[in-house]
Amino acid sequence: MLPIVSMTIFLPLVGALLVMAMHKLPAKSVHAIGIAISGLTLIGTILMWMRGIEATGFSQVEEIDWMPTIGAAYRVGVDGISMPLVLLSSLLFFLTFIFSSKVKDRPHAFVILMLLLETAALGTFTALDAILFYVFFEVSLVSMYFMIAGWGHEDRQRAALMFFIYTLLGSLPLLLAILGLYLGSDPNTFDMRQWIENPPLSGIAAMLALIAMLFTFAVKTPVFPLHTWLPAAHVQAPAAGSVILAGVMLKFGTYGLVRFSLQMTPDAFREAGQVVLAFGVVAAIYGAFAALAQRDLKRMIAYTSVNHMGYVVIGVAIAALTLDPTLRAIALDGSVLQMVSHGLVTGALFFLVGMLQDRTKTRDMDQFGGLLNVTPILGWSFILAAFASLGLPGLAHFPAEFQIFLATLRVEPWAIIAILGIVITAGLYLQAISKVFLGATNEKWIGMKDLNFREVVTLAPLLLLIIAVGIAPFWILEMIHNTTAALQF
């Protein structure tokens, strides 16, 4: 058996070393290498998917001793929760490389950082050893810092610094929790499968570990009031950085919430479930209102991420609270699918804003007007993605949010007020569409070019998948459901 998981994780790293070694190459070839490597990585993840996921535990596990003295090993594998996120990540990276093939400023360093980031992202989702997970988790942070600081917009230094310090402060409590789980396990190990099977901590120790983990993942997700780094980072990041940040890296938070908090300290999570639920509800509503107040398109989409990720937190909290396995599976199915949908939809939206900004050098909604006549492909693409984002049936977010709300109604009916968020996002997207694409055409933009081939290739897969997941979610839900239905705790 080929170790496809490891090969896929480290292929981008090999690519990065390759580019580093060939620093005399012209920009075009460097971007071609980036596209080729990320394309191969995408194929690798599809192969992983085709190999199939077993119903219980982890599949395709690859394991090598690393630090046997302290019980740490290189362990990777996938289950129905991580596999969709792995697919999503490799797809978004591939499209980002296509979209970014225009970057002229230090293309070598850009491609190297993106490839490093891809290895870190795939590693975070597939790691089955807590140290390994932490390593990938932090490497992604460093790469993203340099991405924002190196290729961002006007105020990039400050935003990058804020991002780095905020998320490092956020991730160190996780280290504390990992150490606690390690010292609590018997025999001492960092094997996440062992921790999931026999949660090592109980009582007050488990609660402290849970609080530390919740802090980490709340910063990453982000959950109100720990979200303040997100708008700053998004606004200043280059379009490619925003897509990866929103599409892939925010999922580290919610994935960790499921993998670590829910699976490793289930009893403590049940006790704290109401609090987490409340944070999720507040995040969902706050995100929507904050988005409503924005004039900057990127900032608006960044805040809708807070809203959408809030629904994921609600779903996970519901899964922790309920004792009914069917409802738990529904809530988790919805949460995992919501992560995927958010990656597709928000990825598309950030690409579109990036394309708009490339043409107009502004992101201020009030500067636009009537662009649907000038750039119809861009306009309709945006409208489709915006409708998906506001949860229109038939598009990607609907089946996910529907399941989350369904489970919420059955378990904690009060939390259904989060549905208010959908109403507000509907309002704000309609407002944005009318300001940017409808009405009288702003003279300045007449003659603006519509999407070129590169941009269409970037967007088409995302838009098609948004429709595919919306109309027929079962092809991806089946894999998720097999795992969530078999979870024991």
> Residues 1, 21, 50, 69: which binds other proteins (CB under 8 A)?
69
Tell me: does residue 149 bind other proteins (CB under 8 A): yes
> Residues 161, 456, 467, 471: which binds other proteins (CB under 8 A)?
161
Contact between 277 and 317 under an 8 Å Cβ cutoff? The reply is yes
Which among 184, 153, 90, 49 is positioned nearest to 363, based on CA atoms? 153
Tell me: does residue 180 bind other proteins (CB under 8 A): yes
Contact between 349 and 385 under an 8 Å Cβ cutoff? The reply is yes
Residue 123's identity, in one-letter code, is G
Nearer to other proteins, 141 or 239 (CB): 141
Tell me: does residue 179 bind other proteins (CB under 8 A): yes
Q: Which stretch binds other proteins (CB under 8 A): 159-167, 271-279, 382-390, 458-466?
A: 159-167
Tell me: does residue 70 bind other proteins (CB under 8 A): yes
> Residues 175, 426, 448, 486: which binds other proteins (CB under 8 A)?
175
Distance of alpha carbon 248 from alpha carbon 140, whole angstroms: 10
Q: Which stretch binds other proteins (CB under 8 A): 127-135, 258-266, 278-286, 382-390?
A: 127-135
Tokens found for residue 86? 């792995």
> Residues 165, 275, 377, 409: which binds other proteins (CB under 8 A)?
165
> How many CB atoms sit inside 10 A of residue 393's CB?
11
Tell me: does residue 471 bind other proteins (CB under 8 A): no
Report the chain's C-alpha Rg in angstroms.
21
Least distance in angstroms from the C-beta of 433 to other proteins: 39
Q: What is the DSSP string of 222-266?
A: T-TTS-THHHHHHHHS-HHHHHHIIIIIHHHHHHHIIIIIIHHSH
Least distance in angstroms from the C-beta of 168 to other proteins: 5
Least distance in angstroms from the C-beta of 194 to other proteins: 17
Tell me: does residue 173 bind other proteins (CB under 8 A): yes
Distance of alpha carbon 207 from alpha carbon 14, whole angstroms: 41
Distance of alpha carbon 93 from alpha carbon 35, whole angstroms: 9
Distance of alpha carbon 470 from alpha carbon 391, whole angstroms: 10
Residue 412's identity, in one-letter code, is E
Tokens found for residue 340? 């995927």
Return the H-helix or E-strand segment holding 67.
strand 59-67
Tell me: does residue 260 bind other proteins (CB under 8 A): no
Number of residues binding to other proteins, judged by CB under 8 A: 30
Which among 332, 465, 305, 326 is positioned nearest to 400, based on CA atoms? 332
Q: Which stretch binds other proteins (CB under 8 A): 29-37, 55-63, 180-188, 251-259?
A: 180-188
Tell me: does residue 114 bind other proteins (CB under 8 A): no
Tell me: does residue 195 bind other proteins (CB under 8 A): no
Q: Which stretch binds other proteins (CB under 8 A): 33-41, 61-69, 433-441, 479-487?
A: 61-69
Binding site for other proteins (CB under 8 A): 23, 65-70, 131, 134-135, 138-139, 141-142, 149-150, 157, 161, 164-165, 168-169, 172-173, 175-176, 179-180, 182-183
